[in-house]
Amino acid sequence: MHNDQENPETGFEGDAEPEEPAEKVTAGQLLREARETRLLSIQEVAEELHLTRHYIQALEADQHDKLPGEVFARGYTRSYARLLDLDPEHLLKLHDRFGERRLARKEEAIKRHARRRMDKNRPWIMVSGVAFIALAVALWFFSGQPEQTGPVPESAVPAAGIDGAGDENDASLGLPDAPALNADGGINETAILPESLPGRPRDSRFDVNWSGDDSLIIVALSDSWIEIEGQDASHRFHEQVLDGSVLHLTGDAPFSLLLEDARAVELHFNGRLIDISNNVRDDNSARLTLGL
């Protein structure tokens, strides 16, 4: 028999989610086992239910995010169960339990990410506190010194040049240059990453390295849940990216993206800013594929 079920979800390295206990059977597993017992192929089931092969594979893999919505996911599950002479209500209960467990894992991943970010920022907070105390002590010490009285020597007054003297010093106060462009007009990726953006802490950058040379940079303008899948089924990234964070992913395109808050992120693919305004849905989410 062919196994059409994809690999389980994974997040950042070191944050892999624990596997579900074996006794927690899902609706997708029951559907796949019943189909294989009846010697039916995925194509045969898809034609019988008037659905695509991808939808049948998503149902059997419990990947409900690949379906049009929760209402459709429940309807497809009910129809599939009836086709295989299974109890639709029992499978819908398993479907709901799986969704609840997945939501709980997502919330736990968000909490884990927030705790990790707080732990990384704690040393900087302590250093800033010590520096503030040292500055306060220095100001208190020098404010106690007697003020100098009497006329100010002429040598202490800077002379004003009549031909624009001093312009050379003023030139050093100019604003920093704008980010450089590549030879083909694309944005230089190094100008987007945190170490080259003033005011953005280094720990706000996350690197995900898959095999390949394509580059995807996502700048979070506010908190947003992001899901990315590569060509290899094992290349999956599901994580809450917090405000101010920058995700830098390298690998082989195409990349399939699901953005829960599409207006809260900025995408750069291979050095070019991507306009996703046409992909934004009514609920402000967006699903798109880059690099096809």
Domain count for the chain, please give it. Answer: 2
117-157 confidence digits (pLDDT tens)? 777 777 878 888 888 898 888 888 887 655 555 555 555 54
Mean pLDDT (whole number) for 155-161: 49
Closest CA to 28 of 69, 76, 68, 71: 76
- Does 239 fall in a domain? yes
Task: Report CA Rg, the chain.
Answer: 29
70, 21 contact by CB (below 8 A): no
For strands 214-220 and 265-269, give the pairing: antiparallel
Closest CA to 114 of 15, 216, 10: 15
d(CA 272, CA 261): 21
- Does 18 fall in a domain? no
Q: What angle do CA 11, 253, 63 make, to 5 degrees?
A: 45
Mean pLDDT (whole number) for 257-286: 88
271, 188 contact by CB (below 8 A): yes
Q: Bigger pLDDT: 165 or 54?
A: 54
Whole domain around residue 82: which residue ranges?
27-109
236-258 confidence digits (pLDDT tens)? 888 888 887 888 889 888 888 88
Measured CA distances, 67 to 57, 74, 78, 151, 180 (Å): 10, 10, 14, 82, 41
Question: pLDDT-based confidence at 221, cuts 50/70/90?
Answer: confident
- Does 15 fall in a domain? no
- Does 264 fall in a domain? yes
178-187 confidence digits (pLDDT tens)? 444 555 555 5
d(CA 143, CA 147): 9
- Does 131 fall in a domain? no
d(CA 195, CA 190): 8
Letter for the amino acid at 281?
R
- Among 92, 109, 126, the domain-final residue is 109
Beta strands in the chain (DSSP E): 205-209, 214-220, 224-229, 236-241, 246-251, 255-259, 265-269, 272-274, 286-290
In this structure, what CATH number is given to the domain that contains residue 209?
A: 2.60.40
Q: Which two tokens stand for residue 210?
A: 């898959």
- Does 249 fall in a domain? yes
In this structure, what CATH number is given to the domain that contains residue 32?
A: 1.10.260.40
pLDDT value at 35 more than 80: yes
- Does 56 fall in a domain? yes
- Does 74 fall in a domain? yes
What was the pLDDT predicted at 38?
A: 93
What was the pLDDT predicted at 129?
A: 84
99-116 confidence digits (pLDDT tens)? 888 888 778 888 888 878
Global pTM? Answer: 0.35
- Round the average pLDDT of the chain to a whole number and report it: 76
- 3-state SS class at 280: strand
- Among 109, 139, 156, the domain-final residue is 109
- Among 87, 109, 131, the domain-final residue is 109
Mean pLDDT: which of 1-15, 81-95, 168-182, 201-215 is highest? 81-95
Question: pLDDT-based confidence at 8, cuts 50/70/90?
Answer: very low
